Structure 1
């Protein structure tokens, strides 16, 4: 049996935003068939690391090696209170 294909490699990535280091020396690998969750307290750098993986933020150090395509759906902080609930029930 062959080893699973590595789809993502993050090697010692650091990201600096302004004068603050948001991510320091982060490393991880994701192989084919794996499901990975990124957990941490607010402000820990989860979204910034994801931005570095997707090329939306430039790492100050380290590197990212990704195979294939990735998608990103950002969290919205607002809610449309006037959106009628019956609209979503029809679809």
Structure 2
């Protein structure tokens, strides 16, 4: 399975959208400065995820969310999840 995920840093007040085959490991990477964008903070928290059967599907969805360039869109996704 492949996933898209949205993490949030309260320190930076920013969201990050990514895709991965292992969300738990990827979150650890973000928390341990193994990602250029997320290394500025150490308080990333998983807020949202979706599951896909192929890497291509997950990547296409990641790009779709990123193309929206909308914090409101991301927050709406998170809110409708729970």
TM-score by length of 1: 0.27
Bigger helix share: 2
Structure with max Cα Rg: 1
TM-score by length of 2: 0.29
